[in-house]
Amino acid sequence: MSAGDQKNGGDKPEDMVPQPEVWPEVERAECLARGAALKWASGVFCRPEHLERLSQYRKRESQRTASVHTRLKSMVQSYLEGVGWGLEQLREARTELREVSRDLKKAGLESDQNTEGGRSLERLREVSANHSQLLTAVSNLPRLYSVRSMVMETERLVESRRLLEAHAKLMDLEYLQDDILWQLNKAAGGALSTEDQEVVAKYFSGVRHLVDALGKELWAVVSSALALARQNPTPFVSAVRIVEREEALDQTLLEERGGGGGNSRPLPPGRPRCWRACFFKVLEEAVAARFRSVSYLHTRGPGLAGHLSALQHGIMADLATVRHLLEHCVPQQYKLTGAYLRASHRCLHAHLTQVSSWDLESGEIFAVLNWVLHIYNSPDMMGHPELVTEMEREELRPLISTEGLEQLQSKYVQSVRKSVSEWMHKALQVELQDWQRDQEPDTDHEGFYQTSLPTIITQMLEENARVALMIGESLRDQTIQMGLYEMENLLNRFREALVEFGKEHRRDLSNSKNKFYLHYLLASISNCIILKKSTESLQQQQSSQSAGQFTRTPPNPLAALDRAVRRACRLVMDQLLLDLKPFLPGLLTRPWLAQGDPTPKLCRVLERHLELYLRVRPPCRQRLQEEAQWLMVVEYVRALMQKRLVCRSGEERRQLAQQMLQDDQLFREIFHSLEGEGSAPEVNPLALLPVLAEFIRLKDPNMLTLEVSGLAAKYPDISEEHVSVLLEIRGDVSRDIKGAVLDLLEQSAPPLPVGYRPIFTDILVPPSTMAFCLPTAKCA
C-alpha cells in the first residue's frame, strides 16, 4: 500500500470493500446519450427566445423517463419471478433423484438374491429341454420311419409320369423336412448346429434327388409341349399346375420370411425354386433346339432357301399349335403366344446372324434378304392378322440390324459383281472367237449385223437389276451401279480388242480368214448401239436418291461406248482407205483426164462399203456414210494437191474441170442416201469439188483474186500452200497475180467458225522442188 493510502486510512475495513465493476459498454452508451442530448438541446435552444419552452420539454422528458423506468422495473420483476420458479423446480428434482437412487439400490440387492435362486433351477431347465426334444422325436418317429418308403413311392410315380401325385408326395416330404428343421431350430434356441443340419440333410437326401427328377420330367414335358398338344395335352397341363403350385409356395414362404418376428421360419433348402421362370427358359430352349442341328454344309446353295422355307412352315405350325391348343392349357397371365413369339424371334435373330457370317454366294444372300425383309413380315408369317397384335405388343427388334443388312447387301453386290465380271470376260472371249469365223456375222430381224455379246450383257444386267429390285430399290441401285462399272471395264477391254484386231488384220492382209474383218467391225458398232440403249435404260431405272450414296467416282459407260465406237469407225475408215488406195494414184493424171478410168473403180469400192454400212444401226450408219464422204473428198483433193496434172492450155483446164464435175456427180449419186436417211452435215464436203473445178476452169486470171476470197470465206482452213498449188495446176497464172492472190489470202485469213470441221487441215501439200536462186526480198 502506498503512503497516500496509509494517510487516508486505507487500512480501515470499510476502505477494503471492492467497488462495483463498471462495464465499458455502459460508459460508452452513457457518453453517446449525453452527446445526443447535447446535440438535440443545441438544435432546440439555439436562440434565447426558445428558453421559454424549457419547462415544457423538461416535463415531457420526465414523463418519458418515468415510463421507461416503470417498464424496466416490470421486466426485471418478471425475470426474477421466473428465476425463483426455476430454483424451486431444481430443489424438487433433487429430492426425487435421491428417492430413485434409494429404490435402485434396493432393487439391485433383490436381483442379486434372485440370481442365486435361478442357479438352482438350471438343471431343471436342461431336463425340460431334453424332455421336449424327446417328445418331438417320439411324435415324429412314425413319419421319419415312413420317409424312405415315401421316397421310393414318389420315385415310382415320377417314372410313370404321374406328376401330380408325385408332386403331392414330394410336398409332404418337404413339409416334414421343413417341420423337423423348424422344431430342431426352435429347440436349439434359433441356433441349430451345422452337424444337426447335415444329419437332417443326409436323412432327407432322397428328397433333393426327387426334386431333380421331378424337374427333369417336368422340363421334358414342357420341351415336348408342341407334340403333346396335338396328341395328349394332359401331361402338359399337369406340368403347368405343378409349376403354379411351386410358384405359389415360393411366394408364401417369401412372404412369411419377410413378415419378420421371432417365430418366422427360415427358407427351406432349395427355395425359392422359381419354376415359372424355368418354364419359359425351357420353352425358349425348345424353340432354339430346331436351329442347333443346322450347319453350313447342310444349307449350301439351294439348301439354304429350303431351310428358310422349312423354318417358316415350322414356326407358323408351332404358333398355330400354341395359339389354338397350348394357350388354353396355361393361365392367362402366361401370354404363351407372346412368349413363343419372343423366343422364336430371338432364336431367329441369333441363327440369321450366324448364317450371315458364312461365306455365302449371291443366291444364298438373296434368299436370306428376301426372307428377312419380305417373307418374315408378310401375311404368310408374322404379318398374319392373328399375330399382328402380338407383334405390335412385343415391340421386337429387327431380325438383322441395319448395319447387318447393309453388310449383306454389300456382300451380295460383290458376289454378283464377281459373277458378272466372269460372264463378261467369257462373253468377250466368245466375241473375239466370232471375229475369226469364216462367215458373215448374224443379223437381227431388221437386217442389222450383231453378235451374241450385247444380248448376253443386256440380259445379264437387266436380270440382276430385276432380281435386286425384289429386295428393294437400294439394292437395285447398287446392283445397277456395279453393272455400269463392269460395263465400262468391258467396253475399255472391247476397245483394246478392236485395236488388236485391226493390228492383226494389217499384219496379214493376205490371210483369207480375215476376209470378214469389215463385217465384224460393223457388227461391233451395232453392238455398241445396243449396249448404249441398255445402259441408258439401266440409268433411268436408278432412283434419284442413289446419286449421293456412292463414294466412288460414278461410272461413265457412255463415254467408254463413245470411245469404242470412235475406234471402230476409225478402223472402218482405215479399211475403206486401204481398199481405195490401189486406185488413188491414178486420179487426176493424164490417163484419167483422157479416160476417167480410176473413178468408176473407186465408186464400186464406195458402193460396196456403203452397202455394208446399211447393216449398221442408226445413227452410226449415217456417221459412217459421212466419214466415207469426207474421206473420199479429202483423198481426192490430196490427189489434186500432188500436181500430177498441170494444165498446159485453156482446153486442158476445161477438160480437167469437166472431169472433176463428172466425178463429183458420180460421188453424189453414190452418197444420195445420206441426205434421205439422216440430217446432212453442215458443210457438205462434196460441195468442194465443184468449187475447185470452177476455180480451175476460170478463164480470166485477173478474177482469181475474187475467186480465192470466196474460197477462203467458205473454207477458212485453206492455206497459202493449197492456193499456190491450185494456181500452179492452172498453168496460166503470172508471178504478179500469184503474189497478189497470196497477199490477199494472207491479209484476209478469217478465224475458224465454231463447229466448222476443217477439210484442208488434213491435206498436206508436198514440198516443191525449186532451183537454187539468190534470196530476194520477196523470197525472204
- DSSP track, 47-85: SGGGGGGHHHHHHHHHHHHHHHHHHHHHHHHHHHHHHHH
Residue 680: its pLDDT value, please? 47
Q: Residue 361 has which C-alpha cell?
A: 454366294
* Distance in angstroms (rounded) separating the CA atoms of residues 564 and 557: 10
Residue 181: its pLDDT value, please? 75
Q: Is residue 728's pLDDT more than 50?
A: yes
Q: What is the mean pLDDT of residues 50-60?
A: 80
Q: What angle do the packed helices 163-187 and 122-145 form, to 10 degrees?
A: 170
Tell me which of 384 and 514 has the higher pLDDT.
384
Residue 679: its pLDDT value, please? 45
Q: For the chain, what is the mean pLDDT?
A: 83
Answer positive or negative: Cα dihedral of 248, 249, 252, 258. negative
Q: Is residue 489's pLDDT more than 90?
A: yes
Chain segment 166-219, per-residue pLDDT in tens:
888 888 877 777 777 777 777 666 666 677 677 777 777 777 888 888 888 888
pLDDT band at 780 (very low <50, low <70, confident <90, very high): very low
Chain segment 655-671, per-residue pLDDT in tens:
999 999 999 999 999 88
Q: Residue 445 has which C-alpha cell?
A: 430381224
Residue 545: its pLDDT value, please? 58
Residue 115: its pLDDT value, please? 76
Chain segment 395-417, per-residue pLDDT in tens:
788 889 889 999 999 999 999 99
* Distance in angstroms (rounded) separating the CA atoms of residues 372 and 308: 10
Q: Is residue 637's pLDDT more than 90?
A: yes
pLDDT band at 263 (very low <50, low <70, confident <90, very high): low
Q: What is the mean pLDDT of residues 514-521?
A: 89
* Distance in angstroms (rounded) separating the CA atoms of residues 388 and 516: 67
Residue 280 contacts residue 339 (beta carbons within 8 Å):
yes
Q: Where are the alpha helices (DSSP H) in 686-749?
A: 688-697, 704-714, 720-730, 735-747
* Distance in angstroms (rounded) separating the CA atoms of residues 360 and 693: 74
Q: Is residue 493's pLDDT more than 50?
A: yes
Q: Where are the alpha helices (DSSP H) in 260-361?
A: 275-292, 302-324, 336-356
Residue with cell 485477173: 702
Helix (H) / strand (E) element for 443: namely: strand 442-443
* Distance in angstroms (rounded) separating the CA atoms of residues 246 and 274: 8
Q: Is residue 147's pLDDT more than 90?
A: no
**DSSP letters of 598-647?**
HHHHHHHHHHHHHHHHTTSPTTHHHHHHHHHHHHHHHHHHHHHHTT----
pLDDT band at 696 (very low <50, low <70, confident <90, very high): very high
Query: Is the preceding omega at residue 775 within 30 degrees of 0, hence cis?
Result: no
Q: What is the mean pLDDT of residues 635-642?
A: 93
Chain segment 78-96, per-residue pLDDT in tens:
889 889 898 989 989 989 9
Residue 558: its pLDDT value, please? 92
Q: Are strands 442-443 and 449-450 parallel, antiparallel or unpaired?
A: antiparallel
* Distance in angstroms (rounded) separating the CA atoms of residues 502 and 567: 10
Of 479-488, 653-662, 667-676, which gets the smallest average pLDDT?
A: 667-676
Residue 20: its pLDDT value, please? 55
Residue 4: its pLDDT value, please? 42
pLDDT band at 582 (very low <50, low <70, confident <90, very high): very high
At residue 334, the 3 state secondary structure works out as helix
Residue 727 contacts residue 738 (beta carbons within 8 Å):
yes
- Tell me the CB-side half-sphere exposure of residue 118, using CA atoms within 13 A: 6
pLDDT band at 455 (very low <50, low <70, confident <90, very high): very high
Q: Is residue 602's pLDDT more than 60?
A: yes
Q: Is residue 676's pLDDT more than 60?
A: no
What is the percent of the chain with per-residue pLDDT over 70, rounded to a whole number? 87
Note the pTM of the prediction, 2 decimals: 0.69
Residue with cell 439354304: 304
From the number of C-beta atoms within 10 Å of its C-beta (0-12, 13-18, 19+), residue 231 rates as exposed
Residue 270: its pLDDT value, please? 76
Residue 514 contacts residue 508 (beta carbons within 8 Å):
yes
* Distance in angstroms (rounded) separating the CA atoms of residues 155 and 245: 19
From the number of C-beta atoms within 10 Å of its C-beta (0-12, 13-18, 19+), residue 99 rates as exposed
Q: What is the mean pLDDT of residues 95-118?
A: 84
Q: What angle do the packed helices 517-541 and 598-613 form, to 10 degrees?
A: 40
Residue 732 contacts residue 767 (beta carbons within 8 Å):
no
Q: What is the mean pLDDT of residues 254-280?
A: 74
* Distance in angstroms (rounded) separating the CA atoms of residues 453 and 473: 27
Q: What is the mean pLDDT of residues 329-334?
A: 88
Cα of 219 vs its chain's centroid, Å? 42
From the number of C-beta atoms within 10 Å of its C-beta (0-12, 13-18, 19+), residue 245 rates as middle
User: In terms of Cα–Cα distance, which of 185, 205, 207 is closest to 194?
Assistant: 185
Q: Residue 550 has which C-alpha cell?
A: 456412292
Q: What is the mean pLDDT of residues 468-472?
A: 92
Long-range contacts (CB closer than 8 Å, 24 or more residues apart) made by 181-190 = 181/266, 181/268, 182/265, 183/136, 183/140, 184/136, 185/266, 187/129, 187/132, 187/133, 187/136, 190/262
From the number of C-beta atoms within 10 Å of its C-beta (0-12, 13-18, 19+), residue 553 rates as exposed
pLDDT band at 258 (very low <50, low <70, confident <90, very high): low
Q: Is residue 694's pLDDT more than 50?
A: yes
Residue with cell 479399211: 575
Number of helices followed by number of strands (H, E) in the chain: 29, 2
pLDDT band at 678 (very low <50, low <70, confident <90, very high): very low
Q: What is the mean pLDDT of residues 303-315?
A: 85
Q: What is the mean pLDDT of residues 531-559?
A: 78
Tell me which of 625 and 303 has the higher pLDDT.
625
Q: Is residue 632's pLDDT more than 50?
A: yes
pLDDT band at 487 (very low <50, low <70, confident <90, very high): very high
Chain segment 351-368, per-residue pLDDT in tens:
888 888 888 888 889 999
Chain segment 383-395, per-residue pLDDT in tens:
888 787 777 777 7
CB atoms within 10 A of CB 512: 8
Q: What is the mean pLDDT of residues 470-495?
A: 93
Residue 301: its pLDDT value, please? 64
Q: What is the mean pLDDT of residues 717-745?
A: 90
| Exposure b/e, 448-471, CB count within 10 A at least 16 = b | bbbbebbebbbebbbebbebbeeb
Q: Is residue 636's pLDDT more than 80?
A: yes
Tell me which of 246 and 270 has the higher pLDDT.
246
Residue 328: its pLDDT value, please? 87
Residue 615 contacts residue 449 (beta carbons within 8 Å):
yes
User: In terms of Cα–Cα distance, which of 307, 409, 406, 402 is closest to 365?
Assistant: 409
Residue 521: its pLDDT value, please? 94
Q: What is the mean pLDDT of residues 292-310?
A: 71
At residue 562, the 3 state secondary structure works out as helix
* Distance in angstroms (rounded) separating the CA atoms of residues 420 and 318: 41
| Virtual torsion, Cα 390, 391, 392, 393, nearest 10 deg | 50
